Structure 1
Amino acid sequence: MQMKLERLISIIYKLLNHDVISAAALADEYGVSQRTIYRDIDAICAAGFPVVSYQGQNGGYGIMDGYKMDRSLLGSYDVSSLITVLASLSSVFEDERAQGTIERLKTIDRGRETVSLKVDLETKRTEPELLPLLRKAISERKVVAFDYINWNNERTNRELEPLRLHFKYGNWYIQGYCRSRQGEREFRLSRMLNPVVTETVYTLRDALRNEESQAQRLSKDGVADVVLKVGPETLAEAMDHFNFADREFLDDGSMMLRIPVYRPLEARWLWSILLGFGGGAEVLEPRELRAILKDQLRKAIKLYEEV
């Protein structure tokens, strides 16, 4: 009965979203006989939906003109944006519910000629099976066990009560309560190894009900400005990495960046970016960070002394 109800609801939205659709096409899509579709249409009509039957070679079923949802309920820009974002989510998570919502939204977004927005939430740095796996663990409130490579390149075993997935700076993260460290943590999916959704069901902790992440709660006392001078040949790359920084363009074509960073002397992710600029950028402040980068360069040169 539940499957029939879901099929009937889905057929209603199909009819709302198409001018005419044949019984054969509906039967193929839902894996049932045309006779079953005829009975479904009768049930939909009995429920009060004005289904019209069209005869001929291109005949089929449709909803009476004037009955379909008014697009003015939402602005066309709003609907188009929602469809775009949901389509990306549906692709990443293989989410049938999101696809169903898209079908419903399309009933009030007919006649779009151009797409003005495109969102791609996929990333090559994350296994495609991992996102649906973790989302399922979140919805079922199940503990996830995995190995993790931290910024110190240490491999540790973790058990996480997953709370939410977070897409930022082109990467996926998962936030939740780490049983191994007895506190809230955030893990980058690209560094997770051998993830397993256990059968252990957890209860949401009161301290984690707030949507504010641990990173947002960090004390401002730990944030320091990193001042960077970027050469003309490195402008685009630096702006891609630090688009949130204060910028000042100089007369010689270079650029000064002031970047607020939490504990920059411990931020290995920052060191990697700065070293990747090569001679195209120079750290001016803090002086201690200059010394750290100099030491990292010495170690790299030592690896290639025989070349």
Structure 2
Amino acid sequence: MQIDQLFEFVYILIDKKQVTASEMSKRFGVSTRTIYRWLEALSVSGVPVYSTKGRGGGIAISENYALDKTVLSEEERLEIVSSLKAFESLSGTKSAEEKLSRLVKTDSDWLEVDFSPWSPEGQGVRQLFGTLRDSILKKKQITFDYFNTEGKAEHRTVHPWKLIYKGQAWYLRAWCTTKKAERFFKLSRMLNVKQTARTANITTKNAESKKKPSAIKEPPLIKIKAKISSSKAFYLLDSFACSETKTNKDKSLTVTFTAPDAPWLPGTLLSYGKDLKIISPKTIQKQILDLAKSVTKLYT
């Protein structure tokens, strides 16, 4: 009996309370005689399973088994199941979550996580996630085309280590053979990702001996004060966490929020058009004004 079959057998008993040997033989594709041998093996191992004969009889497990065999509280088990929901939203499988849900009394359907974008074109993130996960677990190098912050597309070959979700985006942490250093690659900028037959033989430990690992470079944060029209306030709140808000007489809002001082910031703020006016700092005002002038030149 394979370990995964053993666990599935036990989980089915916990979930259904009682099953027949013929049901299980069809489920696992084995004879009823084999099912009873499995039952005996589980019993010898200390699992409280038993069988009853006659009409209405079958194979069952002690109702208190799940609680007796775990040191986790109900709340801790619920946290595990909820975490699995988040992970399996990307993996596309639900077998582990469905099995562990049977060990929880509380309704675990209170949480749903979907990391894929709303646009149909963005649904490929699940496929990409699966390819990268498979490459990491199988220790295979991958190749892809990557668009950097300067707008240049470069072909990369990397030794993948880890998938990281940070700042509302997925990143791949890997050793880049081109740069000969550790790098973080944003999944949304990776195209034509392919798993190679070559073994990924550089790990985080031996990479440290080659070159000190870099970190995700975080731009400095700046505090921005702005006036936003009520009709577009929800757009701003979707993108930035406002620490202060004040409703004005004309129903507009004066808000204060913190944002990364990154190259994309002026363009993002300019996208609000006449509905957003930056009050401070002056440097952001100038950047938006310069950008607006350059855009105007395209149409004059």
TM bucket by the smaller chain? 0.7 to 0.9
**Alpha carbons 1:22, 1:59 under 8 Å: kept:** yes
- Confirm or deny that 1:294 pairs with 2:276: no
Q: Residues 39-63 of structure 1: CA distance to partner in whole angstroms, max 9, x if unpaired?
A: 3223222323221224567653210
AA of the residue aligned to 1:174 = L
**Which residues of structure 2 form unaligned runs of 5+?**
none
**Which residues of structure 1 form unaligned runs of 5+?**
none
CA deviation after TM superposition for structure 1 residue 151, in Å: 2.9
**Alpha carbons 1:87, 1:102 under 8 Å: kept:** no
CA deviation after TM superposition for structure 1 residue 30, in Å: 3.0
State which of 234, 245, 248 in structure 1 corresponds to 2:245.
Answer: 248
Aligned residue in 1 for 2:257: 258
2:228 and 2:13 map into 1 onto residues whose CA distance is 57
Q: Residues 90-147 of structure 1: CA distance to partner in whole angstroms, max 9, x if unpaired?
A: 2421457xx346524632x13x357433333344535221111111222233322110
AA of the residue aligned to 1:103 = K
CA deviation after TM superposition for structure 1 residue 87, in Å: 2.5
Aligned residue in 1 for 2:4: 6
Aligned residue in 2 for 1:202: 201
State which of 102, 113, 116 in structure 2 corresponds to 1:119.
Answer: 113
CA deviation after TM superposition for structure 1 residue 290, in Å: 2.9
AA of the residue aligned to 1:173 = Y
Q: Greater CA deviation, 131-140 or 294-303?
A: 294-303
How many pairs are equivalent? 289
1:155-170 alignment runs, 5 A limit: 155-170=153-168
Q: Greater CA deviation, 131-140 or 175-184?
A: 175-184
Amino-acid identity (%): 25
Secondary structure (helix, strand or coil) at the match of 2:65 reads coil
CA deviation after TM superposition for structure 1 residue 213, in Å: 7.5
1:74 and 1:241 map into 2 onto residues whose CA distance is 38
State which of 273, 279, 285 in structure 1 corresponds to 2:274.
Answer: 279
**Alpha carbons 2:171, 2:186 under 8 Å: kept:** yes
Q: Residues 200-248 of structure 1: CA distance to partner in whole angstroms, max 9, x if unpaired?
A: 3222133669xx9723x65x8x4443443322222222111112x5323
AA of the residue aligned to 1:116 = W
Aligned residue in 1 for 2:215: 214
- Confirm or deny that 1:51 pairs with 2:52: no
**Alpha carbons 2:81, 2:108 under 8 Å: kept:** no
Aligned residue in 2 for 1:189: 187
**Alpha carbons 1:53, 1:62 under 8 Å: kept:** yes
Aligned residue in 2 for 1:88: 86
2:27 and 2:169 map into 1 onto residues whose CA distance is 35
AA of the residue aligned to 2:240 = F
Q: Greater CA deviation, 113-122 or 84-93?
A: 113-122
